[in-house]
Structure 1
């Protein structure tokens, strides 16, 4: 259960953080970048147990209100998109950014209204008893753990991308007429990923023992809950075993990250000039 929780948390955090960081670096200092930065500062200041309690309050006890908020968001996004597109046509500017942003917001709101499931308050269902039931049970714990990781990953990658976009080879690509997608993804993203990979490795090790409070809130049978229960019952051999497993996974993951550097970046390889 803990491995599933950690895997989903890291995957979801990266899936959100990488596009946000790339576009924020591309629009550095503009309204989108400032809005994302403001939201991320709030995420950093939100501990996992606070996020868990808020998610339970919203999606378990006030799910109908959340659905109505999603419907209102979809309607407001459609109206604002139409107004923005109309103004863009009058000014003879491209309405594509408004269509993309407004369409995404409307789609999210409509999905929340139509597809929001009934989340249980506590408990765990293994994958063998049904994938849908399993994902429904771990969805809120995973969201509670992703807030801080999304903020950290996005801010770190954004800073590296801004520095990379100012380098001569990127400026040369732009001067050759390369597309924005090519410059951002092919020329800038890969060299900027190494700090992020390091932090991801540290995050995986941290999450092994850092999910204790979230597991306790949602009554999940993970390593953290086992550790707390064993300490409470005075079962010290189990405590020692759990600590050993956490430390071993932490060291192993970071060792694999260090080994992966030599394959991701040829400059890291040590070449004997003789």
Structure 2
């Protein structure tokens, strides 16, 4: 009964906290997925572009990001953003600029007291853990997705693209009607694996005190001193998320492969 009470919802249990952490984990993962897919498509386009400078840029991005541990990428972005923003504000002398433009009062009148405190004073800049997490996870996901999309684009038979151009299709129409539908079909298995990795990588954000599932679990363990219980529950939650995700991706793959003869 004690374990049930510890995991219950309400003032005496930790169910509310774990549920809140799970929602934040999913929110972080979904936003990072969307941004990462865009980065991956742009990266694949850069690596396959006829311009050699775009090729080098795409190669440099994937080489650097894939060669650095995800945790180190997160820490560099989190502390680097704070350092960069603090330096930029000091360079612009924002307190004097705000005083000259009466910007502080204007921000306060708009209900932006936090922005006023960050911009118009000498207080240290604090970067949102959610923002740093999204940037870091999106860059990592995008680097691996770049290679997935590049391979998928190269898997589309070139004869189909040439035939589409021969009948007068514009480049944009060829991409929309011929290339992208098949690219998604080829890329979905790889993207599904990257999504599962992304779900697990969200646990790294706990090191910068963002209250996702792993952070909430550590807090509960520190207070109640029941590590096996709470870490076991966190394990089940992650397994449930990945299980549902695998079912969803399998269905999407079948939908994307409709009409394709299986050998």
State TM-score, norm by structure 1: 0.66
The change in CA–CA distance for 1:58 and 1:167 in structure 2 (over 3 A counts) is same
Segments of 5+ residues of structure 1 without an aligned counterpart are 70-116, 122-135
**Cα deviations by residue, 1:37-75 (Å, 9 ceiling, x for unpaired):** 222111111222212221233211231445799xxxxxx
Q: Which one has the largest radius of gyration?
A: 2
Match of 1:45?
Answer: 67
**Cα deviations by residue, 1:110-139 (Å, 9 ceiling, x for unpaired):** xxxxxxx87625xxxxxxxxxxxxxx5411
CA RMSD of aligned residues (A): 2.7
Task: Measure how far apart 1:228 and its partner are.
Answer: 4.1
> Equivalent of 1:21, from 44, 54, 58?
44
Q: Is 2:27 aligned against 1:4?
A: yes
Q: Is the 8 A contact 1:58 1:66 kept in 2?
A: no
> Equivalent of 1:161, from 150, 153, 161?
153
Q: Is the 8 A contact 2:43 2:142 kept in 1?
A: no
Match of 1:34?
Answer: 56
- What is the CA–CA distance in structure 2 between the aligned matches of 1:265 and 1:67, rounded to whole Å? 52
Segments of 5+ residues of structure 2 without an aligned counterpart are 1-23, 92-117, 120-124
The change in CA–CA distance for 1:9 and 1:172 in structure 2 (over 3 A counts) is same
Q: Is 2:255 aligned against 1:255?
A: no
**Cα deviations by residue, 1:70-117 (Å, 9 ceiling, x for unpaired):** xxxxxxxxxxxxxxxxxxxxxxxxxxxxxxxxxxxxxxxxxxxxxxx8
Match of 1:57?
Answer: 79
Question: Aligned pair count?
Answer: 206
The change in CA–CA distance for 1:163 and 1:196 in structure 2 (over 3 A counts) is closer
- What is the CA–CA distance in structure 1 between the aligned matches of 2:195 and 2:206, rounded to whole Å? 16
